[in-house]
Every structure is written in C-alpha cells, then in structure tokens.
Structure 1
Amino acid sequence: MNPGSGGIELSVRREALRLTETVRSSRGEIDSVDTCMVAIAHDGIVAYGEGTPTDYAGVTADDVVGAIEAHGAELIGRDLRDPEHVLDRIERWDAPAGARMALDGAVHDWIGKAARQPTWKLLAMPRTLGPTVYTIGIAGPDEAASAVRNAPAVGAFKVKVGGPGDIDALEAIRRVTSLPVRVDANEAWDLDTARALTPHLRRLGIQLIEQPFPTAAIGDYHRYREIPDRLPVFLDEGCTDAASVLAAQAYADGIVVKLCKAGGIRGARRVMEAGRRAGLEVMLSCMCESELAISQAAQLAPLADHIDLDGHLYLREPPFHGLGLRDGHIVLGEAAGLGVVPAR
C-alpha cells in the first residue's frame, strides 16, 4: 500500500487465525477463526484495524469484509484531519459490528501514529493492565488440569462448561491452582442445572458465571436470582450494546463487553459507561483475536472491573506483535498507534 498524501487508500482482507490447540465450548470445537484486517494509508502513515465477526449471531468474515469493501472508503472520507467526525460516521454506520470495529480500530491507530505516540499514552491510561484471565475449554479432569499447569502466567482462569459433568474438571483445576476461577456456559444451562451446580461451584470458590442460560430465557435469570447463595451472573450474548444494558440491570450482576459486539472502541466505551450507570460490574473481553484487536480493546481497560483479554494467547502464527504479558498483566506496546506492528 502506498501511504502517500494524495487522499486515503483503504484495503481489507479476510484472514484465518490458527489456534495452538482445539478449543471446546458448549457451542462446539474450533481450531481456527476467521477475522477481518483493514489498513488505511494517509499522509505518510499506514494504520491497521481488526474486526471480528460474531459467528454465533450468524455474521461471517465475508459479511464484515463485504461491508467494508462496499462502504469503508466513503465512511473514512478524503482525509483524517478531523478523526472525531470520522469516528462519529463509523459509529452511526448500519453495518455488522465487526466492520465498525475494524474501521474504528484503524482510525485510533492512525491518531496515535500521527501524534508519534502510543494511543494509550494519548488517552492518559496506564501501560500495564489486568490481571487478565486464560480460558480453558471443556475437557476431562486430567486434560483440564494439564491445561492450567501449562497456561501462561495469568491472574485468573475462565473455564468453559456445558453441564454437570464439568464439576470433575473444575475439581481437578482447583487441585492445581489457587487463582480465581470463573465459568462460562455460553447459554448451555437450564435453571435445574444451575440449581444443582451452584452449591458445588460455591464450594470450589468459583467467582462468577457468564451467560448461563439462553438469551431469551429471561425467566430463568430472574428465578436464579432467588436462589440462596447464588453466584453472580454476567451477560455476554445477552448484552450487545448500550441499549441492551438497561434490560440487563433487572436480572444480571454484570455485563461482558466486546468490541466485536459493540462496534469498536467508541461503541464499547458507551456500553461500559451505560453499565456503570446501571450499577453493573463490567468485564472487558474478546474473542480469539490477534494482538491488534486485543490492543484495540485494551484502550478501555481502566473502565473495567475484570479484564478478560486472552484471545491472542492461543494463536499459532500471530499476524501482529507488540503486546507483553508480565506477572499475569498485559503490557501494551510502545510503538506509535495501538502499539503493535505486523509480523510480516
């Protein structure tokens, strides 16, 4: 791409991210994920953004790429001298959230590079974030314990669960770590399962449950709140944008915020601020994504109660480099912009 000053050049591509191992959840198994990478060149600067499709909502990488190819150049405009207005247009764009996420990320990268500083420094935020978690997929007891022993040095674990059979795996995990553990059911439970498992989860010191019931099973969420000594419930699939936070206030304790649901840094900030106003705890999370997308999300870390930014830790051939991990905390890159650079 030629980063000359004659207007703006935009390119977009679909990229497969291969994982170091198969990850199992109640939704199935994955060993690779497709994402969308965008680059904008303007005024001698090349900036990058990543947009992740929400495949569980039926959005594909082709949908994200197609939206950007069709309308991205028009949204960015002819120059970036007023990036706030560009970000306003992107936020209002009626397109898949992953498409907005990619363009929003590239503009934030350009802002930092134009100032010759890391974007996090322009936002007056700390370089070190966390501690973050590491996710353990559904597995038998021996495999789950081994995964914890071989995990990076993180500050907590999230364990994917699907039903009563996962208690044995959680028991094995507890035998090999004293770090905080939370569970993520990805909508797989019903109320009877939650009732039966809650005493065991309490005994094991489980911190919270992400999305235990299907999004539409609002009655189960309300009835679970009546169970004595229940665990805190955080909504992921059930809370996508600022408009959905108000409803979440009535039957959840916290929300899981992801850029791929909210449409980028701008949209995610609005969701987090809405969660704060509603008295909900806020978890900043991700999908399996590269260091570029994780760096986009990390710009919002000071607004979160919990940091769940581990998607880049599973990649076999990372397309971007620059993030660090020290004593369980994410360390942002010092390069101008979002702090990461292409690996090739």
Structure 2
Amino acid sequence: MEVRVRRTTLRLLTTFRSSRLAYDSIDTCVATIVHRGVAGQGEGTPAWAHGEHLDEVVEAVDAEGATVLGDDLSDPDRVLDRVADWDAPVGARMALDGAVHDWLGRVAGRPTWQLFGQPRTLAQPTGHTIGIADTAGTLAAVAAAPPVGALKMKVRDAGDLARLVAVRAATTLPIRIDANEAWDFDTARDLTPRLRELDIQLVEQPFPTADVDAYRRYRELPDRLPVFLDEGCTDVASVHTARHLADGVVVKLAKSGGVRATGRVMRAARRLDLAVMLSCNCESELALSQAALLAPLAHRIDLDSQFLLRDPPFRGLGLDRGRIVLGDAPGLGVLPHPPAPRAPEASR
C-alpha cells in the first residue's frame, strides 16, 4: 500500500464573506493511495471552524495513513470503518476515506456512485450560497448564480434585511439564511416576523453553539423559522443534542471525517426525525463527488462550492435543472482539470 498526500490551494473568483470571516482562497490537500497498481484520490479539508490546521492533516496522512488502511482493500467496509474510527484530524480521515471510495470505483472500472446503486443525477436540487456584501453586490451575485434550486444567504444582523428584501424581489427561488452563530435571542425574535413575510425557508446556526438557552427559547416562539444546526452538529453524539434544539442538521464531510463517518451522522439524524442538509465547505469537485455519495440520505442538498472557484483542479460535475449530475469516469467520476494557460510574457 502506497499513500501520498499533497497540498493544494483553491482560489475563489471573488472574496467570500460570512459573519465570521472573509477569504479568497482555501488551503486543502489531496491524498493518493496506490494498491494493486490502481490509484485513488480523496480530498481532505481541515475542519478550520473547529481549530484544525492543514499541517496536522498532512502530517497524519503521511505518518499513519498506510498503517490505517492496511495491506489489503479486499474488505472495504472494514477498512472504511477503521478510517472513520481513526484518532486523527477530520481532514485526514476525509482524505483517506475519499481515496478509498475513488479506488473502489477505479478498480471496478465504474463510477463509485454506480457501485452504490445511486442515480447519476441527484434527486434534490442544490442550493447556492451568496456571501455578505452590500445590496448591489448581493444582487449582482444573485444574477450571476447558476440555475440552482435555492439560494442560501449569509447574514449578520438586522442590517441584512434590505439585502433580503431586494433578493426576494429579484427571485422566486426558496431563500435560506445562515447567521453562522452571529445572532442572540433578541435579534432572532425581532427579525422573525419580517423574515416570515419574506418567505425565508429556514435559518442555519442562528446562535452560538454554547447558547443552548437561546435555541430553547426560540423554539417556543410562535411562527418561528425552522432551525438547522451546522457548527453545533459534528458527530452522532451532537445529533442527540440537536433533537432538543433544532429541526434539522447540516452535515459536511469536513466536520465528520468522510463518507463513512458522515453517513453515520445522517442516519442517526433521520432516526431522530431531524431533517438533514448535505453541505460542504469551500472544496473542489473531488470532495463534492465524495459528499454526493451520501445524497440519498439527505432531505436538502447544498453542494455548490464548485461555482465559487477560479481554475478548479478537478472537473466532471454537471448541473441539470438545478440538480447535480455526477461524473461518469471510473471512481469518484472527476478528472484533473488542467490549469488555465498563462498569458505569454511581453518581449523585452
């Protein structure tokens, strides 16, 4: 078993802003495993919202990846369980788990989604995220959005109402909002009637994870918005907490550690009658193809970071009436995308 890992930087078309941060690039990594002469690749995104750094992700894959996988992939369920239970950074588990799923398809000469018995086109349309900007910038982003099934708008406080009003006037698409823990209870209480008038579909992580009292008080409000936990839901244990605070959970490979571990979270949520939104961080089409293997377990899809990238390193995903179409190449279905040619230098 050979395991390699390389760093890569994903550059965005524009600076993306939420209530917590602003960025125009993300550092991530791609793990490659080679077994029986067949290579598989998986992307691993550090769980930066929870303090994880790329250095520790890369170091874990380098130091322990081959040992965790073992010498034989003939029992992939056992291997994937070992990866999911590995005491390593989330990004390292995500990368190895993805590489195994890619390898399984490649060794069979078929797309991995086909091995899973999934349709090539996801059943649910994906949403698309609009970062925080002024009203003009927001409307420009909405106008440039791909033909998706919903918009998710990052918000900060009551000052975002004007943006929401403008977007509602510009589109009939469902609108979701994501406060990334920026609100307190009073803000939520005061904004909810206006948000209802604008037919806002749901709110993600309105309060800080630790502010359990705000979640409980908000649940008691009449005609409140449905609440989905994102930062507050990372594993199966947190799902059991979520059932008392929210209506649904947002799951990401970069929070739970790959397809196998995230699937456990999704099944636990469904058993507790929580709605499940399958989402992503800023990731390439390789990671999105890993996540898409879990689409049948999701009530909503939010896999959209491919639309934010400049010079993406992988290509293969399509879009059909708002629904993601998976790649048909063996493995995860995506292929390396050659970088854009550099402009010739002026002669001196």
TM range (shorter): over 0.9
8 Å contact kept, 1:14–1:62 = no
8 Å contact kept, 1:10–1:73 = yes
Q: Which one of 14, 17, 23 corresponds to residue 24 of structure 1?
A: 17
- 1:58-98 deviations in Å (ceiling 9; x for gaps): 10111111111111111112232222221121111001111
Between the aligned partners of 2:336 and 2:39, the Cα distance in structure 1 is: 11
Cα drift, residue 312 of structure 1: 1.6
Structure 2 unmatched runs, 5+: 339-348
Please name the residue that 2:169 is paired with: 175
Please name the residue that 1:71 is paired with: 64
Count of residues in correspondence between the two structures: 337
- 1:239-268 deviations in Å (ceiling 9; x for gaps): 101111111101100000101111100011
Between the aligned partners of 1:272 and 1:343, the Cα distance in structure 2 is: 31
- Give the counterpart letter for 2:21 in structure 1: G
8 Å contact kept, 1:141–1:171 = no
Please name the residue that 1:269 is paired with: 263
Between the aligned partners of 1:148 and 1:15, the Cα distance in structure 2 is: 29
Please name the residue that 1:127 is paired with: 120
RMSD of aligned residue pairs (Cα, Å):
0.9
Between the aligned partners of 1:62 and 1:214, the Cα distance in structure 2 is: 27
Moved more, 178-187 or 75-84: 75-84
- 1:6-57 deviations in Å (ceiling 9; x for gaps): xx21110121100011111001211001111111112221110001111121
Q: 3-state SS of the aligned residue for 1:139?
A: coil
- 1:216-248 deviations in Å (ceiling 9; x for gaps): 000000000111110000000001011111111
Alignment of 1:273-312 (within 5 A): 273-312=267-306
Q: Which one of 3, 7, 31 corresponds to residue 10 of structure 1?
A: 3
Between the aligned partners of 2:79 and 2:171, the Cα distance in structure 1 is: 46
Please name the residue that 2:89 is paired with: 96
Q: TM-score normalised to the size of structure 1?
A: 0.96
Q: Which one of 209, 217, 220 corresponds to residue 223 of structure 1?
A: 217
Alignment of 1:22-171 (within 5 A): 22-129=15-122, 130-171=124-165
Between the aligned partners of 1:63 and 1:167, the Cα distance in structure 2 is: 40
Identical pairs, percent: 61
Structure 1 unmatched runs, 5+: 1-7
Please name the residue that 2:242 is paired with: 248
Cα drift, residue 327 of structure 1: 1.5
Cα drift, residue 165 of structure 1: 0.4
8 Å contact kept, 1:135–1:310 = yes
Cα drift, residue 145 of structure 1: 1.1
